[in-house]
Amino acid sequence: MTELKLEFLLEEPEIPAEVDRLLLSFLKASVEKYSPELFGKLYTKKQSVMKTYCWSCYLPGARFAADKIYLKESRFMVTFSDADMGELFEFFNAFQLMRNIEYPMGGNSMKLREVKAKKIPEIKESELIIKMQSSLLARKHDPENNTDIYYTCEDPEFSDTLKDNLKFFLNKIGWDEDVDCFSIVPVKGKKIVAKVWGRPTNASIGIYKLQGTPRLLDFLYSAGLGSRRSEGHGKWEIVW
């Protein structure tokens, strides 16, 4: 298993508050430049495509304002992983093509300085303690009203909703795995309000206990947990 470490340099030490929009725009631009075929596969407007990748940001000394995030350094880092190793390799190539190219962002610009591939260990345990690297979204969708409810670690529906999100995800990608043994329990969870496409949304961060088959947990290590994983949510690291 492998994950990618991306380092970006900034013209000014600030980025837009809607980091999800910024980085999704960068991902799309990278893929479109590298492979129009892959771009069409992942980002076609004809239908929603379930992604198997996720990412998180490290923003040094972040100070949040209404429309911007001010940083202590003129750089930030992104950790990117994908449960589809072939697709991850293509993303690696796409990112390499974007290195040292100025990418505009509303009066400022960022430049991808470095892309590193880092090996991550295969999971062989059925129980883990994890820490969220990006906010965790437990989303219940009402198709009749086309509305969403987001539960947090403080809600009794939290664990079951995440399990439902997982079942939906695996079904959409045709991945056959038993999820009956999957569970997530807050150890030191915290409710936060995250911005999802500019909208304040209930979310969770902190430390959790995960249980499941080693194969399932290994998959989720790269694919992420919960809803909106490909938009900068649900990435986690192993504590022990």
For the chain, what is the domain count?
A: 2
pLDDT band at 132 (very low <50, low <70, confident <90, very high): very high
What tokens does 114 get?
A: 């470095």
- pLDDT given for residue 145 in this prediction: 85
Domain end marker among 57, 92, 119? 119
Contact criterion met (CB below 8 Å) for 115 and 96? yes
- pLDDT given for residue 198 in this prediction: 84
pLDDT band at 143 (very low <50, low <70, confident <90, very high): confident
Domain of 80, CATH number, reads 3.30.70.1890
Q: Average pLDDT in the 130-144 region?
A: 94
Q: Angle CA(88)–CA(27)–CA(111) in degrees, nearest 5?
A: 110
Q: Angle CA(164)–CA(91)–CA(207) in degrees, nearest 5?
A: 40
Q: Average pLDDT in the 80-97 region?
A: 98
Q: Which domain holds residue 88?
A: 2-119
* Residue 5 CB neighbours (<10 A): 14
- pLDDT given for residue 96 in this prediction: 98
Domain end marker among 63, 98, 119? 119
| pLDDT, tens digit (0-9, with 9 covering 90-100), for 12-45 | 999 999 999 999 999 999 999 999 999 999 997 7
- pLDDT given for residue 66 in this prediction: 85
Q: What is the radius of gyration, based on Cα positions, of the chain?
A: 18
Percent with pLDDT over 70 in the chain: 100
Torsion sign over Cα 39, 32, 79, 21: negative
Contact criterion met (CB below 8 Å) for 185 and 159? yes
H or E element in which residue 173 lies: helix 158-173
- pLDDT given for residue 11 in this prediction: 97
Residue with tokens 């997982």: 166
Q: Average pLDDT in the 118-144 region?
A: 95
Are 111 and 140 in the same domain? no
Asked if residue 46 has pLDDT above 80, the reply is no
**Mean pLDDT rounded to a whole number for the chain:** 95
Closest CA to 125 of 238, 229, 46, 16: 238
Q: Average pLDDT in the 189-214 region?
A: 95
Domain of 199, CATH number, reads 3.30.70.1900
Are 103 and 144 in the same domain? no
E-strand spans in the chain? 2-10, 14-16, 53-58, 63-64, 68-70, 75-82, 102-104, 109-119, 127-132, 138-142, 147-151, 183-196, 199-211, 236-238
Asked if residue 47 has pLDDT above 80, the reply is no
pLDDT band at 1 (very low <50, low <70, confident <90, very high): confident
Alpha-carbon distance 32 to 34, whole Å? 5
Asked if residue 176 has pLDDT above 90, the reply is no
Are 114 and 132 in the same domain? no
Contact criterion met (CB below 8 Å) for 6 and 17? no
